Chains A and B, each alone.
Chain A
Amino acid sequence: MGLIAAFGAPIFLPFMTTQIAFLWMMVVFALCWDIMGGQMGYNSFGNIFFFGIGAYVCAVIQRDSGLDWYVAFFLGFGAAAILGVLCAAILGAGILGLRGQYFAICTLGLGIAGGEIASGWDYIGAGSGLSPPLFPGALGMREMFFNYLFLTLALVCFFTLKRVYSGRFGLAINAIRDDEDKAEAMGLRTTRYKIVAWCISAFFVAMCGAAAGNMIGFIDPRDVAFAGVTFGVWMVLMAILGGKGTLWGPVLGALVFHITQELFWTYLLGWQRVALGLLIVVIVVFFPTGILGWLRERRTMSTSGGSEQ
């Protein structure tokens, strides 16, 4: 049912195709943030860094390769994923030794540094940004193409995570969340698990960046690529809103968040940021465990302490 709705959405709601594409991107954002922040207990504010890397890597390859649009795009798309993972592995080895809030602050710096470097580097357009080559297809095809690309990405991301969470990796990152010292005392290679977690995150987020750069059509270093205050914060919010540490929570959070946000833009124009701010306050105060967590608490209360799951 859901899948049919997801695939059919752009056909039934053609004027909203791009919005729906953004929705799938938000789903990937939230899912990927949750690997670290929810499942592993490491709040990362730096995932936007991989988004920026992906956007630039893909656009530069498209600009300089001189190949056919599709070939260049998918080449850039793949290269973005690879470079994102490489960055995560190298940075992770350096900063994943930090715990708790120190890690969070450090990743916050990462996104800001990315934006500053990108806006000062002439090769990638510096402050005036970079425009990927125009999509060659017919009118309306562009939206469809990116919509289904993001939908595929979201589905692959969801099922990949579903698979790895059910295995040793999922247990290990949960163990790290609950008691990292204990996990180490039990002989787990904690640093390695943490780095792999961040690499998976970076893999999908960087591909999002590659596609989003093209879909938006213009890569501004601070407002698109390394948009810490919008995308970067939304990732965290969506996962928390839906219920962090669960598989469906981030998906649900992304849906609710994106739809609410679109409504704010439509009906509260001029006040949309204020409304968004209020929404954040409401989330944190009334749904600290997210929608799924809230539902689960209510259910356990009504069955008076029955076992979960």
Chain B
Amino acid sequence: MTALLEVRGVSKRFGGVVANANVSLNVPEGAIIGLIGPNGSGKTTLFSSIVGQHAIDSGSILFQGNEISKLRVSEIARSGLLRTFQQTRIYGQMDCMRNMLISTPDTSAGLLSMLSRHSAEEQEEAERLLDFVGLYEKRFLMAGDLSFGQQKLLEFAMALMNKPKILLLDEPTAGINPTLINGLIDRLKRANKEIGITLFVIEHNMRVIMNLADHIYCLAHGEILADGSPEAIKDDRRVIEAYLGAS
């Protein structure tokens, strides 16, 4: 498997705080890769660096073999690398269907396509994906009126609508009702298998990430502490110490 996303020696500091130090990792095409680590270990910072939300201090980030660390957020997103947010972000004053329709890829740059309407296929696709995450019945409700868990599902569906090559998910199951979590794991796996979207997932819920990921990286104090298969990570002494705070 070739690397779809490659992070090489990325460092990022905020003032005196080193958020990421010399982080390197690979996300192969078609895989589901996990990223774990204690609170404040720099996981979300790494995501923000990858999607171009802030400049990195050193290192390089390659997506499909192209350097993207100098590109802007929306350019990176259009190239097929998308993220979801830990605190969900949806368009609260718009109904779910409209949230979905505006999430179609912004491919064509022309004025005409900006002023055009959405095709019947796009409408169908939006309905199909809302059905996929179980929000079809709520499609004409204001997104802002949905519960937090439903907003997470909507955000996931919006990301799928954008047809990304790789999706960076920041704690997809945080705040979701435990009974829904299994359904979500199943949907993430199906998105990966059936639609072929590579997933790179930050997750605190060990049961979820052990079930989901093919390979896991563990971040602590901004550095990659360990990586390996879920089984290897689970038994790794350093990972357990980082989480339990043993010295």
Contacts and interface: CB of A to CB of B under 8 A. Distances in A.
Give the dominant DSSP class at B's interface: loop
Interface in A184-220: 184-190, 192-193, 196
A174 B142 CA distance: 13
B94 A175 contact: yes
B82 A186 contact: yes
A190 B114 contact: no
A190 B102 contact: no
Given A167-B118, A307-B141, A187 B102 contact: no
A233 interface: no
Contacts of B19: none
Given A186-B162, A308-B142, A169 B74 contact: no
A189 B72 CA distance: 11
Interface in B74-129: 74, 77-78, 82-83, 85, 89-95, 98, 101-103, 105-106, 109, 111, 113-118
A204 B60 CA distance: 47
B74 A190 contact: yes
A168 B73 contact: no
B115 A164 contact: yes
Give the dominant DSSP class at A's interface: helix
A193 B109 CA distance: 10
A66 B111 CA distance: 36
A175 B99 CA distance: 8
Contact of A187 (B101, B105, B114): B105
B51 interface: yes
Given A168-B115, A172-B114, A196-B111, A178 B82 contact: no
A162 B117 CA distance: 12
Given A168-B113, A190-B74, A193-B114, A175 B106 contact: no
Contacts, number: 93
* Most chain B Cβ neighbours within 10 Å, of A171, A175, A184: A171
Contacts of B166: none
B103 A186 contact: yes
A179 to B, nearest CB: 5
A77 B73 CA distance: 40
B140 interface: yes
Contacts of B118: 167-168, 171
A99 interface: no
Given A174-B93, A182-B90, A187 B115 contact: no
A309 interface: yes
Contacts of A196: 111, 114
Contacts of B77: 184-187
Contacts of B53: 185
Nearest to A171: B102
A184 B73 contact: yes
A163 B78 CA distance: 26
A181 B74 contact: no
A303 interface: no
A302 interface: no
A38 to B, nearest CB: 11
A255 to B, nearest CB: 25
A167 B115 CA distance: 6
B74 A187 contact: yes
Interface string B157-178: 0100010000000000000000
Interface of B: 51, 53, 73-74, 77-78, 82-83, 85, 89-95, 98, 101-103, 105-106, 109, 111, 113-118, 140-142, 158, 162
Given A177-B93, A178-B91, 11 more contacts: A167-B116, A171-B98, A171-B101, A179-B91, A182-B89, A182-B91, A184-B74, A185-B77, A186-B162, A189-B74, A308-B142
Interface of A: 163-164, 166-169, 171-172, 174-175, 177-179, 181-190, 192-193, 196, 245, 307-309
User: Which 5 A/B pairs are nearest by Cβ-Cβ distance?
Assistant: A187-B77, A178-B91, A171-B102, A182-B89, A187-B78
25 contacts: A167-B116, A168-B102, A168-B114, A168-B115, A171-B94, A172-B102, A174-B91, A174-B93, A174-B94, A174-B98, A175-B91, A179-B90, A179-B91, A184-B74, A185-B83, A186-B82, A186-B158, A187-B74, A187-B82, A189-B74, A189-B109, A190-B74, A192-B114, A196-B111, A307-B140
